[in-house]
């Protein structure tokens, strides 16, 4: 009996080792990096100060005093946990207040909270589509959208990136009796470019489809009020599900679907990641409430303006040194470096220089399109960014990338 177990245990161990070896051999091995202290423009790693250029804390709210105070006060008043899922005993005053604030912010009838963007996308998509339905998904959509589509059991049709004409042809060809759901990122996470929402709204109306926009990277950042990609493009209706997250520009954690009252009801009854998971805790809800308020205040507008300026400054410094950057104009600045080994070497050499940026490899991006994904923050100093660009340029020359 003992021998039997040992054999099985041994065999499993070897195959895991082999799998890890294969990941290493392909240059795709991942590990975490420990940040000491707070998430701010400069961080400390292994006792060394680094300029942080790969965080989604775009407005620098993750350590804002108003969010910290809100989280501390909520903990004192309501405790640390919600203790259950929303449909059991885990709906507290702050959940309802935050949902009302999201609906006001996004100009929708209602909103439903999710525990993360990943949970939102998998839950929403598998609730809205199933066997017999078709999901039309931009080829560069976030992994959580793809996972939601796979989980749903619906047919997944991936259309060429931002190509609404190709999508129109696919919609025409694939007409069926089931539901059609078009899903797109608002701002694409790895490229920083923006979806053609106006055209997508037209297509969804013409084909009787539903349209869902994942605005994880646009919310808080784009538009006069920071309402996101739709606001920036002047679109006030036609998006059925506006999904957004609190863990990026809003400096907190969690996610939401801003929707009609009817869709909220459906998601509440059908989205399994909503139904079967302990709801967000009071501290996080209170921080998100403070963030929504802040984003719409003059301070929020000022931070957005700072972020725009810093993004332009960084992009221009990189371009004038000879780096080729795609057209996007958001806070996400991808430098496509090609192969995984060059990309990881670039990232390691920059760490030695005091600049922290992660290399992005498959499956996050297609093979051969590895990149350094620089992300800007409103709280970056202009001189610091100029200094970082110089370091990046020097390392790029050493590596022969420019």
**Residues that are catalytic:** 189, 217, 248
CB of 332 to ligand PMP, least distance (A): 10
**Burial of 188: CB neighbours in 10 Å, binned 0-12, 13-18, 19+:** buried
How far apart (Å, rounded) are the C-alpha atoms in residues 223 and 211? 20
Torsion angle, CA of 277/278/279/281, rounded to 10 degrees? -150
CA distance to 193, 218, 278, 328, per residue, from 324 (Å): 15, 24, 45, 12
| Contact status: 144 vs ligand PMP (CB under 6 A) | yes
Count how many residues are written for the chain: 402
Q: Which two tokens stand for residue 276?
A: 């079967």
| Contact status: 184 vs ligand PMP (CB under 6 A) | no
Phi, psi for 351 (deg, rounded to 5): -60, -40
CA distance to 29, 49, 60, 240, 289, per residue, from 286 (Å): 37, 31, 17, 27, 5
Q: Which two tokens stand for residue 284?
A: 């996080």
List 255, 271, 318, 369, residue binding ligand PMP (CB under 6 A): 255
Rank residues 195 and 210 by Cβ distance to ligand PMP and give the closer one: 195
Nearest to 350 by CA among 313, 312, 387: 387
| Contact status: 142 vs ligand PMP (CB under 6 A) | yes
| Contact status: 185 vs ligand PMP (CB under 6 A) | yes
CB of 176 to ligand PMP, least distance (A): 27
| Contact status: 245 vs ligand PMP (CB under 6 A) | yes
Rank residues 215 and 240 by Cβ distance to ligand PMP and give the closer one: 215
How far apart (Å, rounded) are the C-alpha atoms in residues 285 and 400? 47
Give the strands of the sheet with 155-159, arranged side by side: 110-114, 255-259, 241-245, 210-214, 180-185, 134-138, 155-159
List 57, 108, 137, 189, residue binding ligand PMP (CB under 6 A): 189
| Contact status: 214 vs ligand PMP (CB under 6 A) | yes
C-beta separation of 290 from 66 below 8 A: yes
List 43, 216, 257, 376, residue binding ligand PMP (CB under 6 A): 216
How far apart (Å, rounded) are the C-alpha atoms in residues 317 and 386? 7
| Contact status: 371 vs ligand PMP (CB under 6 A) | no
In the bound complex, which residue of the shown chain has the CB atom lying closest to ligand PMP? 117
CB of 99 to ligand PMP, least distance (A): 17
CB of 289 to ligand PMP, least distance (A): 17
Rank residues 70 and 195 by Cβ distance to ligand PMP and give the closer one: 195
| Contact status: 191 vs ligand PMP (CB under 6 A) | no
Rank residues 185 and 240 by Cβ distance to ligand PMP and give the closer one: 185
C-beta separation of 385 from 318 below 8 A: no
List 117, 148, 281, 396, residue binding ligand PMP (CB under 6 A): 117
| Contact status: 218 vs ligand PMP (CB under 6 A) | no
Rank residues 216 and 241 by Cβ distance to ligand PMP and give the closer one: 216
Rank residues 317 and 358 by Cβ distance to ligand PMP and give the closer one: 358
| Span near ligand PMP by CB under 6 A; candidates 61-69, 115-123, 337-345, 379-387 | 115-123
| Contact status: 82 vs ligand PMP (CB under 6 A) | no
Rank residues 124 and 401 by Cβ distance to ligand PMP and give the closer one: 124
| Contact status: 116 vs ligand PMP (CB under 6 A) | yes
List 58, 105, 118, 356, residue binding ligand PMP (CB under 6 A): 118
* Residue 245 β-bridge partners: 255
How far apart (Å, rounded) are the C-alpha atoms in residues 393 and 402? 8
Q: Which residues bind ligand PMP (CB under 6 A)?
A: 116-118, 121, 142, 144, 185, 189, 214, 216-217, 245, 247, 255
């Amino acid at each position: 009996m003992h021998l039997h177990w040992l054999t099985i245990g041994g065999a499993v161990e070897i195959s895991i080792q082999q799998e890890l070896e294969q990941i290493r051999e392909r240059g795709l091995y991942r590990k975490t990096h420990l940040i000491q202290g707070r998430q701010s423009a400069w961080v400390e790693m292994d006792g060394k100060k680094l300029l942080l250029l790969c965080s989604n804390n775009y407005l620098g709210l993750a350590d804002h005093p108003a969010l910290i105070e809100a989280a501390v006060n909520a903990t004192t008043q309501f405790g640390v946990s919600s203790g259950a899922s929303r449909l059991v005993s885990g709906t507290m005053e702050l959940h309802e207040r935050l949902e009302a604030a999201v609906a006001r912010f996004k100009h929708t009838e209602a909103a439903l909270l999710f525990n993360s963007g990943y949970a939102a996308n998998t839950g929403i998509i598998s609730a809205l589509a199933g066997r017999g339905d078709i999901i039309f998904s931009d080829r560069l959509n976030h992994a959580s959208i793809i996972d939601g589509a796979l989980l749903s059991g619906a047919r997944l049709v991936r259309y060429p990136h931002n190509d609404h004409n190709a999508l129109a042809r696919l919609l025409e060809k694939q007409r069926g009796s089931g539901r059609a759901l078009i899903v797109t990122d608002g701002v694409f996470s790895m490229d920083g470019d923006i979806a053609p929402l106006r055209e997508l709204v037209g297509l969804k109306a013409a084909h009787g489809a539903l349209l869902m926009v994942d605005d994880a990277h646009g919310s808080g950042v784009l538009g006069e009020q920071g309402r996101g990609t739709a606001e920036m493009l002047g679109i006030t209706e036609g998006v059925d599900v506006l999904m957004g997250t609190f863990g990026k520009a809003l400096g907190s954690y969690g996610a939401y679907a801003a929707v009609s009252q009817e869709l909220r009801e459906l998601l509440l009854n059908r989205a399994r990641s909503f139904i079967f998971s302990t709801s967000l805790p009071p501290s996080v809800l209170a921080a998100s409430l403070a963030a929504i308020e802040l984003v719409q205040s003059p301070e929020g507008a000022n931070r957005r303006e700072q972020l725009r300026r810093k993004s332009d400054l960084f992009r221009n410094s990189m371009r004038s040194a000879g780096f080729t950057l795609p057209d996007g104009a958001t806070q996400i600045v991808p430098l496509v470096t090609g192969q995984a080994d060059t990309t990881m070497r670039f990232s390691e050499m920059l760490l030695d220089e005091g600049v922290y940026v992660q290399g992005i490899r498959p499956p996050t991006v297609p093979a051969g399109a590895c990149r350094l994904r620089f992300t800007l923050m409103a709280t970056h100093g202009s001189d610091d960014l100029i200094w970082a660009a110089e370091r990046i340029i020097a390392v790029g020359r050493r590596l022969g990338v420019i």
